[in-house]
């Protein structure tokens, strides 16, 4: 064993050494439909205005640590209830990590519960914080198994339950009544985190219901709204609870360029909302077109992506790659996703290119 191997084995946790890094596929030269991004840029005139504003940024200074202006803009624009504040994160990934760090305990192993399959960072963040993770499988039809969730809560008394709403990678909205039942089952010992990353494309939200539940946290990101490149997430909760969570947040965690870009974009949020509306319409058209193809099962989606099942996902994925179309093969994530693929909804041109390549891949 080399000295560096000995050093790594001595210093790096064995569970970290045993896992793979989070992989992001190289999308150069591909039609990129694998990452749930908004395909539309800001209009040219707005990009010019934003460039001028960014040019005035004081890059030699730390950000204003309170982020008061940006938080006020988020509260006023994105439906946060009166009297509630937001905490900002470097994407929702950092907020998930902060929640886990705040709730991990030194006297015993704290537990995170979430439906599975769901967003992989729930499990990874729990692991890195030293928490136990309990995944509760979805039903075969990809709906939430409420009795199994309640049994896991009763057995493990988790500090955190993550509920992706709508769920990634399945795209469906769990029943709102089921989520309320879970929130109430956690009352007194656990937090329910409703992750609304895809809220611009969904028909429901729990943000306005924060005053009903002291143990509810609603988390969102502006990534799917069209600002994935600036990496900004936000979450809201009861003021006393949010103040405790904020103690774990690193100082200056949002850089000045992100802050300026987000403030500017939210001044023009109607443009982003119009893009989201176009993608919702395109989602329906794309789903109908795929459902008309032989052997393709299309699952309902309230997000900006669509999950489908095909006879052979590996074969279809490889043939799409050969045609320079990149989607997400999720068939190995969980047994309920056997032969499933996830496709991001895009522009009419890219959706048509995908459909042509997809139809060809099924018939080849």
CA distance 245 to 257: 24
Alpha helix positions (H), the chain: 3-11, 14-17, 44-55, 68-77, 91-103, 120-128, 146-156, 176-185, 239-246, 256-267, 269-291, 313-322, 348-363
Q: 162 near 112, Cβ under 8 Å?
A: yes
> Does the pLDDT of residue 203 top 90, yes or no?
no
Are 152 and 186 contained in the same domain?
A: yes
Are 77 and 39 contained in the same domain?
A: no
- Residue 51 placed within a domain: no
CATH at residue 323: 3.90.1150.10
- Residue 127 placed within a domain: yes
Say what percent of the chain tops pLDDT 70: 100
- Residue 53 placed within a domain: no
- Residue 281 placed within a domain: yes
- Residue 55 placed within a domain: no
* pLDDT at res. 87: 98
- Residue 50 placed within a domain: no
CATH at residue 193: 3.40.640.10
Among candidate residues 216, 233, 267, the one where a domain is terminated: 267
- Residue 52 placed within a domain: no
Residues 126-173: tens digit of each pLDDT: 999 999 999 999 999 999 999 999 999 999 999 999 999 999 999 999
Confidence of residue 26 (pLDDT cuts 50, 70, 90): confident
Are 232 and 342 contained in the same domain?
A: no
Are 318 and 187 contained in the same domain?
A: no
Are 145 and 260 contained in the same domain?
A: yes
Say what percent of the chain tops pLDDT 90: 91
> Which three-class secondary structure state does DSSP give residue 35?
coil
Average pLDDT over all residues of the chain: 96
Are 236 and 305 contained in the same domain?
A: no
Are 68 and 126 contained in the same domain?
A: yes
User: Which tokens is 116 given?
Assistant: 């599975």
Domain that holds residue 156: 60-267
Among candidate residues 209, 232, 267, the one where a domain is terminated: 267
Confidence of residue 65 (pLDDT cuts 50, 70, 90): confident
Q: How many structural domains comprise the chain?
A: 2
Q: Which of 33-37, 183-187, 314-318, 359-363 has the lowest mean pLDDT?
A: 359-363
Mean pLDDT, to the nearest integer, of 234-238?
A: 98
Are 35 and 66 contained in the same domain?
A: no
Mean pLDDT, to the nearest integer, of 292-309?
A: 97
Residues 86-114: tens digit of each pLDDT: 999 999 999 999 999 999 998 889 999 99
Confidence of residue 364 (pLDDT cuts 50, 70, 90): low
Among candidate residues 242, 267, 292, the one where a domain is terminated: 267
Mean pLDDT, to the nearest integer, of 14-39?
A: 87
């Amino acid at each position: 064993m080399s000295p560096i191997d000995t050093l790594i084995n001595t210093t790096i946790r064995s569970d970290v050494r045993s896992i793979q890094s989070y992989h992001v596929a190289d999308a150069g030269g591909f039609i990129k439909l694998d990452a749930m991004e908004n395909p539309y840029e800001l209009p040219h005139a707005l990009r010019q205005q934003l460039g001028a504003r960014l040019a005035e940024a004081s890059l030699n200074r730390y950000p204003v640590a309170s982020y008061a202006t940006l938080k006020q803009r988020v509260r006023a624009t994105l439906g946060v209830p009166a009297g509630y504040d937001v905490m900002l994160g470097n994407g929702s990934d950092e907020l998930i990590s902060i929640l886990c760090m705040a709730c991990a305990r030194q006297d015993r192993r704290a537990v995170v519960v979430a439906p599975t399959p769901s967003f992989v960072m729930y499990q990874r963040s729990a692991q890195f914080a030293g928490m136990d993770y309990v995944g509760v499988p979805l039903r075969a039809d990809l709906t939430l198994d409420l009795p199994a969730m309640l049994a896991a809560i009763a057995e493990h008394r988790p500090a955190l339950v993550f509920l992706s709403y709508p769920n990634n990678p399945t795209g469906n909205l769990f029943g709102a009544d089921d989520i309320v039942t879970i929130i109430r089952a956690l009352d007194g010992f656990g937090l329910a985190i409703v992750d609304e990353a895809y809220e611009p494309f969904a028909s429901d939200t729990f943000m306005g219901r924060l005053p009903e539940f002291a143990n509810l946290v609603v988390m969102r990101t502006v990534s799917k709204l069209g600002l994935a490149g600036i990496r900004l997430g936000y979450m809201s909760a009861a003021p006393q609870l949010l103040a405790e969570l904020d103690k774990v947040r690193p100082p200056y965690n949002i850089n000045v360029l992100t802050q300026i870009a987000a403030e500017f974009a939210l001044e023009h949020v109607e443009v982003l909302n119009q893009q989201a509306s176009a993608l919702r319409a395109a989602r329906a058209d794309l789903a109908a077109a795929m459902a008309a193809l032989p052997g393709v099962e299309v699952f309902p989606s309230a997000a900006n992506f669509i999950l489908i099942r095909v006879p052979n996902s590996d074969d279809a994925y490889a043939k799409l790659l050969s045609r320079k179309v990149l989607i997400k093969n999720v068939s190995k994530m969980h047994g309920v996703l056997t032969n499933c693929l996830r496709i991001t909804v895009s522009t009419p041109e890219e959706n048509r290119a995908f459909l042509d390549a997809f139809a060809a891949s099924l018939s080849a």
